[in-house]
Amino acid sequence: MTTWILLLRGINVGGNNLLPMKELRGLLERLGYQSVQSYIQSGNCVFECSNKSTGAISSEIKQALKTEFDLHLNVLVFGAQGFNTAINNNPYLVPDNEGKFIHFFFLAEPAIHADLEALTSISKPSEAFTLTKTVAYLHAPEGIGRSKLAANMEKKLDVPITARNLRTVLQISKMLQEAP
């Protein structure tokens, strides 16, 4: 069995794309995934399955969400090793109480057409970002609520993304460690 991480984008935000985690866990179990766990209401799941690729899992979940809930969402799936590598490659070390200021923008695919110059030009002097093949890391010590960099990340990277703060990423990592 392989352990996988599912990250959905844009559910249960501002009263849109409502999907209770109980229903999401049930959907994943009906698809044959095992040991399904979720974390908070934003579409973070850890589960196990064998003999499937990342692309196959992503496509299957995306289609099931569309069919069962009429939800058209970005579905990003990562293996445990890739997810842990993303954590280990985080270039921004901050005290534990500042985990909300580090954000991981998980990429659906490498951002080969990223407009890094534009991202740099709209970032605040206090902000820093680093782009890898799978994640764009953002250190935004003033928060992301008014960050032009955070607001334009997907547009300027030119790939589908979903963001999680460091606290959430570390909690998902803890779930991975506790998985059977």
- Residues of the chain above pLDDT 70, percent: 94
Grade residue 11 by pLDDT with cuts at 50, 70 and 90.
confident
DSSP 107: E
How does 24-36 read in b/e, with b if 16+ C-beta sit within 10 Å? bbebbeebebeeb
Q: What is the pLDDT of residues 40-71, one digit of tens each?
A: 888 899 999 987 899 999 999 999 999 999 99
Q: What is the pLDDT of residues 27-42, one digit of tens each?
A: 999 999 999 999 988 8
Across residues 136-159, what is the average pLDDT? Answer: 94
Structural domains of the chain, with CATH: 2-82 (3.30.70.1280), 84-167 (3.30.70)
**Sign of the four-CA dihedral 24, 152, 160, 176:** negative
Is the confidence at residue 15, as pLDDT, over 90? no
Q: What is the pLDDT of residues 75-118, one digit of tens each?
A: 999 999 999 999 999 999 876 666 789 999 999 999 999 999 99
